């Protein structure tokens, strides 16, 4: 196999392409025979793009991912709308094509999250639709020190609201995959969160998380949170005004002690994160493996059809 940089920096993701046998079977043999080598490559670079192996279906994708040693993480408590395609394969976040999904670590608003992510390009968009990446190590290194210190001290409180009278985002039944309130409360508490049934029938769920984490294998401390994505400042100003005036926000965040996060701080965070954005164009059949601790990912707006599938792995 050929292994080459996908971007310029040495610690950024690499791309693996076939030297001769460009088939899904050849890729399956390769990942099965070189599992340890690929894990080290992932630790060194954060991401590996497998390109040119003729993956043609969601089942091909699932089979190859399984041969890397992946084990599915159930998406209970996950915030993004997804649809199951086959076995452990889901659609990537179903969000309007005109919108940007900002850089983030998957499920960093909970205490349990996938260690690895896998994305498969079944059909690239006719325009845009890239999955941008960024190194959490680079972001933390360049984040303003005052912001780092405050987040380290106070942490982040992620807040979700579920209303029965207005459909904004996923329902709590879909999010926690149960219709039973007692079971919902059990799941929420087991996840280290707290739920409150408010007088107006609205459900509020709070989860306090660290803003950074240390990779268990590399020892590197990295930026690991979704504060800028959950904060209302991420919304278009007019939409934010309408949602806030009618108490329709599906989620927002504050510091762990209850102090509000100001828009200026979030703008500085956004600027630091986006300064490290890395963008590549998808090709049909691409399979991207990411270390969810080391790399953030997102999605650019797109035109035309786009079919990108995802597999969330617990290990």
Strands (E), 6-65: 14-17, 47-50
Q: Is the pTM of this model over 0.85?
A: yes
Share of the chain above pLDDT 70, in %: 100
- pLDDT for residue 22: 87
pLDDT (tens digit per residue) in 84-141: 998 899 999 989 999 999 999 999 999 999 999 999 999 999 999 999 999 999 999 9
Top-level class of domain 2-135+280-313: alpha beta
Task: Domain 137-273: give its CATH architecture.
Answer: 4-Layer Sandwich (3.60)
- pLDDT for residue 38: 95
pLDDT (tens digit per residue) in 144-166: 999 999 999 999 999 999 988 88
- pLDDT for residue 124: 97
- With CA atoms as reference, report the closest residue to 227 among 102, 314, 130: 102
Q: What is the β-pairing status of strands 14-17 and 47-50?
A: parallel
Distance, CA of 153 to CA of 233 (rounded, Å) = 22
The chain-wide mean pLDDT, for the chain, equals 95
- The strand pairing partners of 90, in sequence order, are 84, 310
Share of the chain above pLDDT 90, in %: 89
Residues with Cβ within 8 Å of 167's Cβ and at least 6 positions away in sequence, in order, are none
- pLDDT for residue 306: 97
- pLDDT for residue 167: 80
Below-50 pLDDT ranges, the chain: none
- pLDDT for residue 165: 82
* Domain ranges across the chain: 2-135+280-313, 137-273
Q: 187 in helix, strand or coil?
A: helix
Contact 302, 125 (CB under 8 A): yes
- pLDDT for residue 64: 94
């Amino acid at each position: 196999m050929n292994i080459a940089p996908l971007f310029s920096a040495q610690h950024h993701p690499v791309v693996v392409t076939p030297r001769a046998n460009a088939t899904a079977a050849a890729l399956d043999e390769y990942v099965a025979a070189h599992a340890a080598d690929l894990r080290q490559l992932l630790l060194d670079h954060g991401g590996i793009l497998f390109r040119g192996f003729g993956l043609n279906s969601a089942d091909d994708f699932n089979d190859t991912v399984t041969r890397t040693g992946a084990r599915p993480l159930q998406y209970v408590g996950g915030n993004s709308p997804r649809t199951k395609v086959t076995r452990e394969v889901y659609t990537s976040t179903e969000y309007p094509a005109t919108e940007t999904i900002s850089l983030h670590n998957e499920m960093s608003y909970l205490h349990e999250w996938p260690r690895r992510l896998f994305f498969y390009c079944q059909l690239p968009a006719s325009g845009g639709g890239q999955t941008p990446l960024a190194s959490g190590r680079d972001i933390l290194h360049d984040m303003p020190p005052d912001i780092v210190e405050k987040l380290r001290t106070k942490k982040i409180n992620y807040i979700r609201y579920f209303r029965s009278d207005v459909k904004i985002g996923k329902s709590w039944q879909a999010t926690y995959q149960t219709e039973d309130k007692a079971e919902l409360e059990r799941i929420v508490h087991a996840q280290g969160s707290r739920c409150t049934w408010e007088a107006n029938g609205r459900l509020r769920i709070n989860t306090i998380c660290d803003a950074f984490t240390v990779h268990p294998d590399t020892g590197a401390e990295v930026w690991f949170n979704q504060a800028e994505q959950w904060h209302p400042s991420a919304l278009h100003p007019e939409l934010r005004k309408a949602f806030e005036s009618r108490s329709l926000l599906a989620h927002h965040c504050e510091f762990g002690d209850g102090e509000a996060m100001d828009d200026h701080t979030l703008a500085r965070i956004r600027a630091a994160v986006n300064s490290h954005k890395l963008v590549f164009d998808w090709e049909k059949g691409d399979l991207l493996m990411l270390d969810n601790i080391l790399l953030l990912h997102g999605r650019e707006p797109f035109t035309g059809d786009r079919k990108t599938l995802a597999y969330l792995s617990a290990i």
